[in-house]
Amino acid sequence: KLLLADEPTGSLDSARSVEIMELLRDLNRQDGITVALVTHEPDMAAYARRHILFKDGNLIRDDQGLLGEGPGAITDEERRMM
């Protein structure tokens, strides 16, 4: 399963943005749904376990397995399951 989210928090206040990001995180963690999210907001990107940065159509960076960074960081238990 794949959920595509293009700027899902772009026009929301911060409280609603956090609610949406927690919902997306829970869909991923609890239901195994892959969430592909596009955002320009660093605080929302912090929820992701993987960050892929594009600039001018080119891949600039692909960071995987973030530990201890933001609400989406991989826990030690999740890392052992990989």
- pLDDT tens-digit series, residues 64-73: 755 455 665 6
> What letter would DSSP give residue 66?
-
Q: Please, is 48 exposed, middle or buried when counting C-beta atoms within 10 Å of its C-beta (0-12, 13-18, 19+)?
A: buried
- Token pair, residue 16, equals 């609603």
Residue pair 41/25 in contact (Cβ under 8 Å)? The answer is: no
Residue ranges, the chain, pLDDT below 50: 67, 82
- Region class of 5: left (phi > 0), else alpha (psi between -120 and 50), else beta: beta
Q: How far apart are CA 41 and CA 62, in angstroms?
A: 17
Task: Identify the pLDDT of residue 77.
Answer: 62
Task: Identify the pLDDT of residue 59.
Answer: 83
